[in-house]
Structure 1
Amino acid sequence: MIYGIGTDICDVRRIRESLERHGDRFAEKVLAAGELAVWRERTERWPDRGLRYLATRFSAKEAFSKAVGLGMRMPMTWRHCEVAKLPSGQPVIVLHGALKAWFEERSLRAHLSVTDETDYAASFCVVERLEENQPPALTP
């Protein structure tokens, strides 16, 4: 059963402006530890890819927060919601801390799609409530 649906579009130029204004502090606020390492590596090698990586994570977390109906308030935090990927490349939500406990207590599973172009990153998230015999979500 569908619990919630969320979508978000992010202007990559706004993310660039935030990085210029706040430096790495902006990325450190938005990204979980694993994401931050990937962002730094990509930014060093391909600055534009690093920028789009940050924009897609920002967009995905916004879409997820809408799908669960919390917005950006506790237990939803930027760093407790991580966007990882399976070996196939499929993006997945990995939760931490109080957000993970909140999500599991409700027997929820998230499905995520992300995309980006030069100026925009977009995400779509569907959260479903698991039935008793449904398998849990895939994890990276």
Structure 2
Amino acid sequence: MIYGIGTDICDIRRIRASLDRHGERFAAKVLSDGEMANWKSRSARWPERGVRYLATRFSAKEAFSKAIGLGMRMPMTWRLCEIGKLPSGQPVIVLHGELKKWFEAKNLSAHITVTDESEYAASFCVVETRAPLPVQTSPNP
């Protein structure tokens, strides 16, 4: 059953302007430690690729925060929500700390997609309530 749906579109120029104004501090506010390492690596090779990476993560976290109905308030924080990827390249949401505990206690699962084009990054997130695990009973003798 669908718990919530969230979408976000982000102007990449706005992310670039924030980076110009605040430098790495802005990225450190939005990205988890793992994402930060990836952002630095991409930015070193091709700065524009780093900006797009940050914009897609920003957008994905906004969409997720809307889908869970919290916005950016506890336990939802930028750094406790990470956008990872499977070996296939499919993006996945990886949660940490209190946000992970909250999400698991509600028995939720999430699906995320991200995309970017010349001036915009966009994301769409669907959060579902997982079916409860069946109760196992021991067979009667």
- TM normalised by structure 2 equals 0.94
Matched positions, count = 134
The answer for the alignment partner of 1:51 in structure 2 is 51
TM-superposed deviation, 1:132: 1.7
Which residue identity is paired with 2:47? P
The answer for the alignment partner of 1:87 in structure 2 is 87
Mapped partners of 1:110, 1:132: distance in 2: 16
1:17-59 per-residue CA deviation (whole Å, 9 max, x = no partner) reads 0000001000000000000000000000011111000000000
SS at match of 2:110: strand
The answer for the alignment partner of 1:119 in structure 2 is 119
TM-superposed deviation, 1:118: 1.3
1:59-81 per-residue CA deviation (whole Å, 9 max, x = no partner) reads 00000000000000000000000
- Answer yes or no: is 1:64 the counterpart of 2:64: yes
C-alpha RMSD over aligned residues: 0.9
SS at match of 2:57: helix
SS at match of 2:42: helix
- Is the radius of gyration larger for structure 1 or structure 2? 2
Identity of aligned residues (%): 74
Mapped partners of 2:73, 2:2: distance in 1: 21
The answer for the alignment partner of 1:30 in structure 2 is 30
Which residue identity is paired with 1:17? A
Mapped partners of 2:40, 2:6: distance in 1: 28
The answer for the alignment partner of 1:130 in structure 2 is 130
Which residue identity is paired with 1:65? S
Q: Which runs of 4+ in 1 moved over 2 A?
A: none
Which residue identity is paired with 1:110? A
SS at match of 1:21: helix
Mapped partners of 1:50, 1:25: distance in 2: 14
Unpaired runs of 5+ in structure 1? 135-140
Mapped partners of 2:18, 2:71: distance in 1: 20
